[in-house]
């Protein structure tokens, strides 16, 4: 792992603040490790290199469990500038699995901080995800998926009159689409997704003009439901 001179200088400056400001010896080993781990992660992000638990475990010679603990402590003490957990969440949907029987999505989320934020978000909404032996697995119903991914700021565009007309053109005799048209809102979409068949779901979501991370998430979801 090759660090630039600028990165090395920045790292030393941060270490010097912990030791050379009338505080020599007061910094714990754990705090120093979090700082060094933070510098390592930031280098990986800046260089576009993988920083998943398995990769860091191999590179640093520590367990994946310890990597996850250090990631949590790093984000608490040295948060990554511009971190938006919903963007990372949307990107994770590309490897999701869809269960048509109960309209649930199973997503492997590599970043423990994204997982923590997602769980906190749905808990605040009164929902919960199901625990699994796989700590990276996040299983949630499609209505909860909508709540996470569809930003209220984009509602006017997603549920515009034009979008409603496009959906109305394919409504035919499907009762779930008719119900959605009667409540062409975010809540209406949640009810629709929890009741319609996957074929009907696919025909509708491709007509809705999602924006931002919702566009990324639903593009991946469409492929997941198709089984592509």
pLDDT tens track for 127-170: 777 667 678 888 889 999 999 998 877 788 889 999 999 999 98
Supply the pLDDT for residue 66.
96
User: For residue range 66-110, what is the model confidence (pLDDT) as tens digits?
Assistant: 999 999 999 999 999 888 999 999 999 988 999 888 999 999 998
Task: In whole angstroms, give the CA distance from residue 159 to residue 211.
Answer: 11
pTM (2 d.p.): 0.80
Please give the sequence-ordered ranges of beta strands (E in DSSP) within the chain, or none if there are none. 97-99, 104-108, 137-141
- Which sequence spans correspond to the domains of the chain? 5-77, 88-228
Q: Which two tokens stand for residue 5?
A: 């001179």
pLDDT above 90: percentage of residues in the chain: 58
User: For residue range 168-222, what is the model confidence (pLDDT) as tens digits?
Assistant: 998 877 899 999 999 999 999 999 999 999 999 999 999 999 988 899 999 999 9
- Which residues, listed in sequence order, are joined to residue 99 by a DSSP beta bridge? 104
For residues 30 and 83, the model is more confident at 30
């Amino acid at each position: 792992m090759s660090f630039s001179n600028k990165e090395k200088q920045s790292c030393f400056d941060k270490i010097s603040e912990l030791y050379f400001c009338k505080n020599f010896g007061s910094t714990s080993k754990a705090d120093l490790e979090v700082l060094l781990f933070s510098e390592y992660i930031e280098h990986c992000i800046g260089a576009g290199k993988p920083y998943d638990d398995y990769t860091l475990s191999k590179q640093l010679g520590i367990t994946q469990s310890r990597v996850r603990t250090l990631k949590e402590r790093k984000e608490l003490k040295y948060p990554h500038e511009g971190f938006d957990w919903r963007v990372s969440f949307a990107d994770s949907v590309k490897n999701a699995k869809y269960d048509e029987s109960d309209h649930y999505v199973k997503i492997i989320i590599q970043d423990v901080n994204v997982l923590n934020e997602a769980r906190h978000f749905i808990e605040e909404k009164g929902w919960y995800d199901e625990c699994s032996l796989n700590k990276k697995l996040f299983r949630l119903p499609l209505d909860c998926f909508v709540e996470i991914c569809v930003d209220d700021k984009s509602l006017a565009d997603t549920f515009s009159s034009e979008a409603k007309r496009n959906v109305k053109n394919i409504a035919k005799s499907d009762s779930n689409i008719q119900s959605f048209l009667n409540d062409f809102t975010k809540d209406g979409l949640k009810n629709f997704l929890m009741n319609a068949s996957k074929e009907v779901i696919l025909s509708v979501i491709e007509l809705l003009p999602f924006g931002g991370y919702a566009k990324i998430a639903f593009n991946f979801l469409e492929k997941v439901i198709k089984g592509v």
